[in-house]
Amino acid sequence: MIKAEYASVIAMTSERNSPPFGRTSTPRRKGMRSLSGLTETLLGPALRGRVAILGKIITHWPELAGEAASWSQPIDIQFSGKQKSDGVLVLSIRSGTGPQTQMMTRTLCDSINSLAGYAMVSRIRLVQNLPAPVFEESAPDSVSDEASFDEVAQSKLEHKLSTINSPELRAALLKLGQTVNSRQKTD
């Protein structure tokens, strides 16, 4: 009696899981699948279009932005829904250049839209996270430092340091005074 009930349960389960009449079933893959494989099929076509548009903007950014290209960089473009128009361009800018960039947003939108051929961007959002440029300082040349330190300042400094008994401390303070004086002249 138990075997009969078990057989009827198996028959019901197989009917429920079998494909409808006329359809062939595709074999299911057993095991785990990677999430990236699932998302690629869903998001791939949409992202390919966004990446192509953003890549085109990044490539032509120096021509589109003009002087603003030195302190800004496009990092993303966002559209609402499936539209490819009236988007928001996200710009990464240097700190302190926000007001100037805001004044240029209409010009930037117009130049981007002329590149695209339609009203692709209607707004620009600014993110102040672009690092400041790094300037390399050349190694100071001891001859040039001594030449820039004039004799009057040298004699005044030596006169003030003459009361110090320690020769090491006096030499260190003299060198510090020369460095401070040379930097004040360059600023």
What is the tens place of the pLDDT at every residue in 137-151? Answer: 555 555 454 444 577
Q: What pLDDT score does 15 carry?
A: 54
Q: What pLDDT score does 145 carry?
A: 47
* pLDDT tens-digit readout, 30-39: 777 777 666 6
Q: What pLDDT score does 92 carry?
A: 94
* Nearest alpha-carbon partner for 117 in 61, 74, 48, 53: 53
The tokens 């128009």 sit on which residue? 85
* Distant-in-sequence, close-in-space partners of 15: CB < 8 Å, separation ≥ 6: none
* pLDDT tens-digit readout, 122-136: 999 999 998 877 766
What is the C-alpha separation between 33 and 21, in angstroms, rounded? 29
pLDDT surpassing 70 at residue 5: no
Distance from the Cα of residue 156 to its chain's centroid: 51
- Contact status, residue 71 vs residue 130, Cβ threshold 8 Å: yes
What is the C-alpha separation between 32 and 13, in angstroms, rounded? 23
Question: Would you tell me the crossing angle of helices 105-116 and 35-59 to the nearest 10 degrees?
Answer: 110
Confidence of residue 13 (pLDDT cuts 50, 70, 90): low
All domains of the chain in start order, with CATH: 43-130 (3.30.300.180), 143-181 (no CATH)
Output the CA–CA distances (angstroms, integers) from residue 15 to 26, 27, 119, in the order listed: 16, 16, 55
Q: What pLDDT score does 128 carry?
A: 92
Burial 130-141 (b: 16+ CB within 10 A, else e): beeeeeeeeeee
* pLDDT tens-digit readout, 58-100: 999 999 999 999 999 999 999 888 788 899 999 999 999 999 9
**Which is higher by pLDDT, 156 or 149?**
156
Q: What pLDDT score does 136 carry?
A: 60
